[in-house]
Amino acid sequence: MPWTRRSFLTTTGAAALAYAVVPARAARSNDHFFNWKPVRDHVWAAIGDGGNAMVVRTPAGSCLVDTKYPGLAHALRREAESHCGRVALVINTHHHADHTGGNLVLTPVAPVIAHRAACARIPEQIDRYRQFAESGPTQLGRNRGDHERLARETAELAERAESITPEQFVPTKPIDRFPHEESLGDVAIEVHHFGPGHTDNDVVTRVPSLNVIHAGDLVFHNLHPFFDRRSGATCRGWIECARRTIELCDDDTAVVPGHGDLTDIGGLGKQLTYLERLWEEVSKAVREGRERAEVEAMRWDFMDGYGYEQVRARAIAAVYEEVRAARG
């Protein structure tokens, strides 16, 4: 059941009154850098420029899921707060640096939740954070309006990229028992983990009262999925994760994918089909004795119309190796 403004006012008192006088903002605002899309009342998603972020308003502040790149972190916080109020809780869907780079400015101001395995992997990718920090000004070179303040911030971080430390990115609240539940202003926020999929530390965030899910990189919507085998990615595990995520949804659930546009249970189903077909086709090719390079060059109808062509061969190669290992 989504909340209504009335139920908010009757149940949450003064905090809700402060909430109620905040004017609704337009879907796109020229003073915003990110491509914000409304997901639900009280819920927005910033699509692209790193992993998709989602922000959920509650009477006790907002919950931000994923934090994009380090150089954009101040802007992400500012814009998230302009939609949904002070960030009071952060969740990282997994450790990858395009989802956790903004932790740099968020760990000092709010608890940051992640799977315990993500907390262990994050310090190992400090070089990536520094690279992202250094390339921040270039990332901005796309001329999407006047963002003088953001340009200053990214330039300042690029200057001191070498001095940023791993500890600045490590989530402050590691979780190892799932499902985990947080409560923010009486709004329940569930954190689920279904075993290894895209990495060994993917979590799915669900807000039952709003019927909304952030699936992290378990969903690449209409995009070839990125397989990170060194971080525990497995196709069969990912299939299981997709199935379990679908079980959390009904026909009205709004689904924010890790990459790609907003979707729903249909998008989850599409991701599941892609992975099942990929496993099936690569298994068949292995049974036929085909070489890895030959299989990497293959394409099948379920891939039609998908973006991220640059990771397609990598996905096939990862599944090829997994199939071979499973055959012993």
**Which positions touch Zn ion (CB under 5 A)?**
96, 217
Q: How far is the CB of 198 from Zn ion (least distance, A)?
A: 6
Query: Which of helix, strand or coil describes residue 324?
Result: helix
Q: How far is the CB of 84 from Zn ion (least distance, A)?
A: 24
Looking at beta carbons only, is 178 or 308 nearer to Zn ion? 308
Sign of the CA dihedral with 122 first, then 128, 134, and 140 last: negative
Burial 190-224 (b: 16+ CB within 10 A, else e): bbbbbebbbbbbbbbbbbebbbbbbbbbbbbbbbb
Residue 312, Cβ density class (10 Å: 0-12 exposed, 13-18 middle, ≥19 buried) = buried
Looking at beta carbons only, is 66 or 296 nearer to Zn ion? 66
Looking at beta carbons only, is 52 or 211 nearer to Zn ion? 52
Q: How far is the CB of 184 from Zn ion (least distance, A)?
A: 25
Looking at beta carbons only, is 32 or 96 nearer to Zn ion? 96
Looking at beta carbons only, is 60 or 72 nearer to Zn ion? 72
Nearest 5°: CA angle at 121, between 120 and 122?
100
Q: What is the number of other CB atoms lying within 10 angstroms of the CB of residue 317?
A: 17
Q: How far is the CB of 239 from Zn ion (least distance, A)?
A: 17
Hey, what amino acid is at 309? Answer: E
Please state, in angstroms and as integers, the Cα–Cα distance from residue 106 to each residue in 75, 111, 137, 213, 239, following that order: 12, 8, 20, 21, 32
Mapping DSSP onto H, E and C, the string for 182-243 reads: EEECCEEEEEECCCCCCCCCCCEEEEHHHCEEEEEEEEECCECCCCCHHHCCCHHHHHHHHH
Looking at beta carbons only, is 3 or 227 nearer to Zn ion? 227
Q: How far is the CB of 49 from Zn ion (least distance, A)?
A: 15
User: What angle do helix axes 148-159 and 126-139 make, rounded to 10 degrees?
Assistant: 140
Looking at beta carbons only, is 126 or 188 nearer to Zn ion? 126
Looking at beta carbons only, is 185 or 196 nearer to Zn ion? 196
Q: How far is the CB of 189 from Zn ion (least distance, A)?
A: 21
Q: How far is the CB of 242 from Zn ion (least distance, A)?
A: 15
Helices (H), the chain: 5-20, 73-84, 97-100, 103-106, 116-121, 126-139, 148-159, 235-247, 265-287, 292-296, 312-327
Q: How far is the CB of 179 from Zn ion (least distance, A)?
A: 21
Chain centroid offset of residue 128 CA: 17
Q: How far is the CB of 247 from Zn ion (least distance, A)?
A: 22
Looking at beta carbons only, is 99 or 180 nearer to Zn ion? 99
Give the closest residue to 128 by CA, choosing from 104, 150, 107, 110.
Answer: 104
